[in-house]
Structure 1
């Protein structure tokens, strides 16, 4: 059998990466897999084999880089480009109506609408993409400075390491542990005589702050993107436009529904509480 040339290997690697990214998107974002786990593993093993044979062709955004690697001594500090604020709570319809009055006053008659989203109980994070590749992931920290958790975030299969548009992006999202994974993780911990996590949020926070990214890779974390802070080439008029763009680029976005006025917001919230 003729030895595989670097040029042919590069083409095979590119095709495998594209196929794997497509199936990761179907499975982890759309929750609609089109191949079995065994078939997916076969694709990954082919890619790993080729990258081992041609290590010079390995890139940071390759699907093989999700599995975790070197153990860090500490997390580096990351200064946020803009402050990551926390949300205020509103308890009941009355407080929502009061909030709407303040909005009306500040907008001085300008048209507006609301976008209602679920509040995910997880860990806020910021992500930066450069040239279409995932470059940096960081925790919220104190709102001004967070910690670099790039290697751990690479293990989150619902976060694309490569997107179609080669622009500079800064995003924000919520890292969380699905309840099914939380249950599975606690069962394993109790079998190993370890203390179970108190809740999914604590489990998610503890997972992304592991110095060994291989441990984070075993935790089956997920992420929902809820905001686009900056884009080097585009501007968006509305939050709904942002969500539409994020979905086009392969991101998993939070459940959302538009509402023309505050009474519609209250109705949506009450229906979700029932």
Structure 2
């Protein structure tokens, strides 16, 4: 939907909004996609707060491509295939004690072990399974589960997700995670 300037809106406010939006987009790409920030996080947060205040006072400024409506930078188009070093298996579910015992038995048989250690049970949320590969604590690759052995390289896209660390304190090599969008956020995005 094209941006239409309200007759009552000051051109100075519109210009300020455009300048803030442009600066925030530029710095988000530097931080999330290129991993080469040019300003401290506190400065980025200050700019974002200014934009949010401006949009709160002037709701007609809010557009679907405003930095206030995004998480990080825009994902890049096109994907290459990635072979997983360790197969990414699908999550399983159990709805009662019998199904949980059957799952435990299948794992014992598959791994040829009688004791499997502790389990953690959580609600199963729909989302995108992602493998995150780190070298010396730095994110070097992110891939979808795909068929479990081959997925799609989504490294640049994942760099736009602020909740995924680009650098770890630990020297972990791989983390498997699930990207989930809350329904309220999805609904807001679909109605914008």
User: TM-score, normalized by length of structure 1?
Assistant: 0.41
Residue 145 of structure 2 corresponds to 140
Q: Label 1:79 to 1:44 Cα distance change in 2 as closer, same or farther (>3 A).
A: farther
Deviations along 1:102-130, whole A, 9 cap, x unmatched? 6678544x473322223121010101112
Q: CA RMSD in A?
A: 3.4
Residue 8 of structure 2 corresponds to none
Decide whether the 8 Å contact of 1:140 with 1:146 is kept in 2.
yes
Q: Aligned pair count? A: 134
Distance 1:96 1:140 in 2: 24
Unpaired runs of 5+ residues, structure 2, are 1-35, 51-71
Q: Label 1:86 to 1:44 Cα distance change in 2 as closer, same or farther (>3 A).
A: same
Q: Label 1:39 to 1:156 Cα distance change in 2 as closer, same or farther (>3 A).
A: closer
Residue 97 of structure 1 corresponds to 101
1:173 paired residue among 174, 177, 187:
177
Shift in Å at residue 44 of structure 1? 10
Residue 168 of structure 2 corresponds to 163
Determine helix, strand or coil for the equivalent of 1:116.
coil
Q: Label 1:169 to 1:94 Cα distance change in 2 as closer, same or farther (>3 A).
A: same
Q: Label 1:44 to 1:67 Cα distance change in 2 as closer, same or farther (>3 A).
A: farther
Deviations along 1:48-69, whole A, 9 cap, x unmatched? xxxxxxxxxxxxxxxxxx4247
Distance 1:111 1:168 in 2: 23
Tell which deviates more after alignment, 112-121 or 149-158. Answer: 112-121
Shift in Å at residue 93 of structure 1? 2.4
